[in-house]
């Protein structure tokens, strides 16, 4: 699941990638295939690299996600534990 920070990073990357891709498509339509293909390729690479690359500024965020993930338990698993009821047979109740 992508968080709000990941979404903002993607939006920032798309600010640069979309105009390059649109210009590349226009160059392709006009017949300048080398420049058009280069711009479209660079736009795609910009988004892919941003998504998969871990920079030193991303390390504190990754550490925080791991710490929060290990400290906060899953509420669904707690509900499953509460559903278990230990019932003794009637013979043992007497």
The total number of structural domains that make up the chain = 1
pLDDT value at residue 11: 92
Q: Could you list the residue range(s) of the whole structural domain that residue 34 is in?
A: 4-72
Within a domain: residue 83?
no
Within a domain: residue 23?
yes
Condensed to tens digits (0 to 9), the pLDDT of residues 19-33 reads 999 999 999 999 999
Within a domain: residue 79?
no
Within a domain: residue 25?
yes
Condensed to tens digits (0 to 9), the pLDDT of residues 33-57 reads 999 999 999 999 999 998 877 677 7
* CB-based contact 21:39 (threshold 8 Å): yes
* CB-based contact 43:26 (threshold 8 Å): no
pLDDT value at residue 1: 47
* CB-based contact 49:10 (threshold 8 Å): no
- 76 pLDDT band, cuts 50/70/90, is low
pLDDT value at residue 63: 79
Within a domain: residue 81?
no
Q: What is the pTM of this model?
A: 0.57
């Amino acid at each position: 699941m992508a968080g709000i920070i990941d979404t903002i990073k993607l939006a920032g990357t798309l600010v640069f990638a979309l105009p390059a891709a649109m210009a590349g498509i226009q160059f392709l339509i006009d017949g300048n295939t080398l420049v058009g293909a280069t711009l479209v390729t660079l736009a795609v690479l910009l988004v892919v690299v941003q998504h998969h690359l871990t920079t030193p500024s991303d390390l504190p965020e990754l550490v925080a996600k791991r710490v929060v993930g290990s400290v906060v338990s899953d509420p669904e698993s707690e509900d499953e534990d509460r559903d278990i009821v230990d019932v003794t047979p009637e013979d043992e109740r007497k």
